[in-house]
Structure 1
Amino acid sequence: MADIFDEVNEIEFETVTMTAEDGSEVEFSIIDNVACGGERYLLVVETELMDDDETEALILKESSINTDDVTYELVEDDAEFDRVADLFAQKGEDYEVEID
């Protein structure tokens, strides 16, 4: 007889691949997205670290859209970051957002 805990439902996340400064590619899982001030933002976690309870999420801002590709950049402005992080914190029922 199978243990009911063996049938844990895993959530599948959409992913986005970013190119690091050294040219390597890093895959991020998209946890959530939000629009603010006419801009679109993604809350992402490095896919390899999804199971780590101490993993830090990043906020990416959509910077351009071409026919086949969307370009994202890290949100580095403190005021913009705080505003968008607050939106994710208000919206996130399935995840916990802590702003440091």
Structure 2
Amino acid sequence: MESIRFTFEETKEEVEFAVLSHIQHKDTMYLLVVEEEELTYDDDLTAYVLKVVQSEGDEVVYELVDDDKELEEVSGLLEAEMDGEFELQ
């Protein structure tokens, strides 16, 4: 499973995310991710949807998708890609 390092802009907290799925939609790459350390728990996972906002060589800049309309649209596509392996709440 691929992983990425992400820094939350507000808190500067850095986390390792495991990439569960990704899609290309309207010329933008979106990723469905969970914190790697959460993968060992049996409870429900907290998933995030990130989008690529800049890509130069090996360096990629991600941003959390926080627009409700965009999130709903992309989440539906990611859910279909995962073939029902997760359910958005």
Which category describes the TM-score, using the shorter chain as reference length? 0.7 to 0.9
* TM-score between both structures, scaled by the size of structure 2: 0.87
Structure 2 gap ranges (5+): none
The CA deviation at 1:40 is 0.5
- The residue that corresponds to 1:3 in the other structure is none
Give per-residue Cα distances to partners, 1:69-91, cap 9 Å, x unaligned: 00000001000000000001111
CA RMSD of aligned residues (A): 1.5
Check the 8 A contact 1:88/1:97 in 2, yes or no. no
- Bigger proportion of residues as strand: 2
Structure 1 gap ranges (5+): 1-12
Give per-residue Cα distances to partners, 1:33-85, cap 9 Å, x unaligned: 00111111000000000133311110000000122300000001000000000
- The residue that corresponds to 1:73 in the other structure is 63
Greater C-alpha radius of gyration? 1
2:4 to 16, 28, 31: 16
* Separation (CA, whole Å) in 2 of partners of 1:88 and 1:66: 25
Which amino acid is the alignment partner of residue 75 of structure 1? V
* Separation (CA, whole Å) in 1 of partners of 2:86 and 2:24: 19
Runs in 1 of length 4+ with deviation above 4 angstroms?
A: none
Matched residue of 1:76: which SS?
Answer: coil
1:1-100 matches, cutoff 5 A: 13-20=1-8, 21-52=10-41, 53-93=43-83, 95-98=85-88, 100=89
* TM-score between both structures, scaled by the size of structure 1: 0.78
Ranked by relative contact order (alpha carbons within 8 Å, sequence separation 6 or more), the top structure is 2
Aligned residue pairs, count:
87
